[in-house]
Amino acid sequence: MAKIFEMSQHMADLIAAGEVVERPASVVKELCENAIDAGAGALTVEIKNGGMTYIRVTDDGCGIGPEDVTTAFLRHATSKLRKEEELSSIKTLGFRGEALAAIAAVSRIEMFTREKGASEGTFISLEGGTVTEKSPAGCPEGTTIIVRDLFFNTPARLKFMKKDAAEGAAVSAAVLRCALSHPELSVRYIRDGREEFHTPGDGRTDSCIYSVLGREFSSSMLEARASGDGISIEGYICSPDSARGNRGHQFFFVNGRFVKSQLLQAALEQAYRNRIFSGRFPSCVLYITLNPAAVDVNVHPAKTEIKFMNERQVFDAVHYAAKAALDGENRLNRIEKSSPPSPSQAVPPRPVDTAARDSSTSPVKEKDEMPYNRGVDFVTSIQPPPENKEPSLTGVFEQTRIVYGVSETTMPQPVGKAPLKSEPEQEPAPYRIIGEAMSLYIIVERGESLFLIDKHAAHERLLFDRLKSREEGAMSQALMTPLIAAVGREEAAELLAHKELLFEMGFELEDFGAGAVAVNSAPAGIEVSDITALLTEICEDIRLGMKPGSLGVRDEILASIACKAAIKAGKSSEPAEHLPVVSAVMSGEVKYCPHGRPVSVELTKKSLDKSFKRI
């Protein structure tokens, strides 16, 4: 007897629905995408009970004509793709023609829709995919779709739903991404009768981010942009001190579509190397615009995964845009901090850099606007060795004639800060070194602020950067007699396996047998008594450097060398030793230690006055 039968259409629809409609958030995502594709300028999303009992999406887009309303709910029915060739260059968010059919199969739907300019609209209702009513109706131009009782006819799926609060949170995340993805669209989001946010829809990314993610988040963001070779990057990334414990606030949009991409994530995170702790992650809202033919979005039913035709090019563009933003961190490229917005503000805060913002409405920038391929020079040229100074480990101790603690010294030009075209070089403010406290902190006064500088951490970073920028290898000191470092068998083998890399860094090692290595030379600036401990640390660096989230083997080793060569904490230093360290910190050249800890703390007069109850 035959055992294989064709499924009924209804069964097939229910199964297909599972792929597109996993939970209320996926329904909301699909409906929002339809509204955007319909050319909406304003969109309202309302949910109740986490979206399980009620979802409403209203748009002012093109609407659907009475002759198309029923077809729209059929599987593989779409107005967005006609020919096979169009599949390779998709310009709309939807194209699979599945969403409405999938949603209808597992819920109760009512839709009001009226085409632009039509004298009346249409009402249609469906239950479990079957049309229960269709009639002409008076309604505004655009479309309102109400989805009730999701999964009412699929109890097995219903069981997998989380508590309303969790489903609601997932919906909020979906609406938030939708709002961020299209700053020119005004998105209003209402959850259980409460308005959560309302974006102005003025096309400005900063006001959009401000409305959706709030004041604190916005104030930590730095503007990032680059363009060239058919790719444009625009948006914001967070300052290193605002990095978070997870990647939840990394938003990448490719041609207006929110995407998850390890490539983009890596491009961003690598720009923060040596600036943030391992285990912390940068946030971003980045808009990547490129030719739709250079992206494949048809990789996954949810369409959040994509493939780039030229991965290297995209990686570089994002990486350099982020790096340039971080290198210009001192500049006024943050989102305006003042004027707290009301939850549904109509007038967004103006950014400081209005000249740069004027072009923000056109996503693809003029070729000469700071092409990221020129950005390569921009980035590699920003860390030249300081003038008249050999970038050696000991070079940073060179003395300058300044009467310590009394005279005012003028901050040198920031080393290696390539100025952005539009900004005139600013004369830096003078500072005064007051002294050292606790054999660790250098106290500096500038303007209305006191700075406490961790001399070890700052010096470590300075040395680390110098070591990194020396392409021909680190300065080395030959030892009078070889030092025999008994590090242990495994460790000795590990070190000898990396002999060449270590040679580049100033170590000349030989096998001494019995778990020891003979050290003929070591990096300049390292005390002989520290060498064995440093080699043991390097073994650990090699292991650690292989792990994700670390600096990488090379940088981990350089960080250890820099740490050992740097001014020690707990030992008071000569005033002259402070000068290069203070100069590097006050110029902004050094902000974080190689592992991302801050190297200075600022105490403002205002905060001190407050502590003393003067104000």
Residues in contact with Mg ion by CB under 5 A are: 34, 94, 99
Q: Which does 269 bind (CB under 5 to 8 A by kind): Mg ion, ligand ADP, none?
A: none
Cβ 30 to ligand ADP, closest distance in Å? 6
Q: Please tell me whether residue 77 binds ligand ADP under the rule CB under 6 A.
A: yes
Q: Of 19 and 423, which has the nearer Cβ to Mg ion?
A: 19
Q: Which residue is nearest to ligand ADP (CB)?
A: 94
Question: Using CB atoms within 10 A of its CB, is residue 49 exposed (0-12), middle (13-18) or buried (19+)?
Answer: middle
Write the secondary structure of 252-316 as one string of H (helix), E (strand) and C (coil). EEECCEEECCHHHHHHHHHHCCCCCCCCCECCEEEEEEECHHHEECCCCCCCCCCEECCHHHHHH
Q: Candidates 32-40, 286-294, 591-599, 604-612: pick the segment binding ligand ADP (CB under 6 A).
A: 32-40
Cβ 91 to ligand ADP, closest distance in Å? 12
Q: DSSP labels for 503-572?
A: HHTT-EEEEEETTEEEEEEEETT--GGGHHHHHHHHHHHHHHHTSTTS--HHHHHHHHHHHHHSPPTTS-
Q: Please tell me whether residue 80 binds ligand ADP under the rule CB under 6 A.
A: yes
CA-based nearest residue to 119, from 103, 137, 133: 137
Q: Please tell me whether residue 301 binds ligand ADP under the rule CB under 6 A.
A: no
Which of 355-390 are b and which e, b meaning 16 or more Cβ less than 10 Å from the residue's Cβ?
A: ebeeebeebebeeeebbbbebeebbeebbebbeeee
Sites for ligand ADP among residues 135-194 (CB under 6 A)? 143
Residues in Cβ contact with 346 at an 8 Å cutoff, skipping those fewer than 6 apart: 200
Q: Candidates 54-62, 117-125, 159-167, 358-366: pick the segment binding ligand ADP (CB under 6 A).
A: 54-62
Cα 218–chain centre separation:
13
Q: What is the CA radius of gyration of the chain?
A: 30
Q: At residue 206, what are phi and psi to the nearest 5 degrees?
A: -65, -40
Q: Which does 79 bind (CB under 5 to 8 A by kind): Mg ion, ligand ADP, none?
A: ligand ADP
DSSP state, residue 141: S
Cβ 97 to ligand ADP, closest distance in Å? 4
DSSP state, residue 600: E
Q: Candidates 98-106, 154-162, 205-213, 419-427: pick the segment binding ligand ADP (CB under 6 A).
A: 98-106
Q: Candidates 77-85, 124-132, 455-463, 514-522: pick the segment binding ligand ADP (CB under 6 A).
A: 77-85
Query: What is the spatial distance between Cα 297 and Cα 290, in angstroms, rounded to a whole number?
Result: 13
Q: Which does 98 bind (CB under 5 to 8 A by kind): Mg ion, ligand ADP, none?
A: ligand ADP
Q: Please tell me whether residue 108 binds ligand ADP under the rule CB under 6 A.
A: no
Structure tokens at 88: 């390779």
Cβ 65 to ligand ADP, closest distance in Å? 9
Q: Please tell me whether residue 100 binds ligand ADP under the rule CB under 6 A.
A: yes
Q: Of 34 and 313, which has the nearer Cβ to Mg ion?
A: 34
Cβ 496 to ligand ADP, closest distance in Å? 60
Cβ 43 to Mg ion, closest distance in Å? 14
DSSP-derived pairing of the beta strands 250-254 and 284-290: parallel
Instruction: Give the residue, chosen from 28, 35, 495, 582, that forms a contact with ligand ADP under the rule CB under 6 A.
Output: 35
Cβ 94 to Mg ion, closest distance in Å? 3
Q: Which does 181 bind (CB under 5 to 8 A by kind): Mg ion, ligand ADP, none?
A: none
Q: Please tell me whether residue 13 binds ligand ADP under the rule CB under 6 A.
A: no
Cβ 130 to ligand ADP, closest distance in Å? 16
Q: Which does 97 bind (CB under 5 to 8 A by kind): ligand ADP, Mg ion, none?
A: ligand ADP
Query: What is the spatial distance between Cα 532 and Cα 564, in angstroms, rounded to a whole number?
Result: 11
Is residue 453 a contact partner of residue 598, using CB atoms and an 8 Å limit?
A: no
Q: Which does 430 bind (CB under 5 to 8 A by kind): ligand ADP, Mg ion, none?
A: none
Write the secondary structure of 352-386 as one string of H (helix), E (strand) and C (coil). CCHHHHHHHHCCCCCCCCCEHHHHHHHHHCCCCCC
Q: Of 57 and 579, which has the nearer Cβ to ligand ADP?
A: 57
Q: Which does 199 bind (CB under 5 to 8 A by kind): Mg ion, ligand ADP, none?
A: none
Residue with structure tokens 């632009």? 116
Q: Please tell me whether residue 105 binds ligand ADP under the rule CB under 6 A.
A: no
Is residue 596 a contact partner of residue 240, using CB atoms and an 8 Å limit?
A: yes
Q: At residue 127, what are phi and psi to the nearest 5 degrees?
A: -135, 120
* Residue numbers at the binding site for ligand ADP (CB under 6 A): 30, 34-35, 38, 59, 61-64, 72, 77-80, 94-101, 143
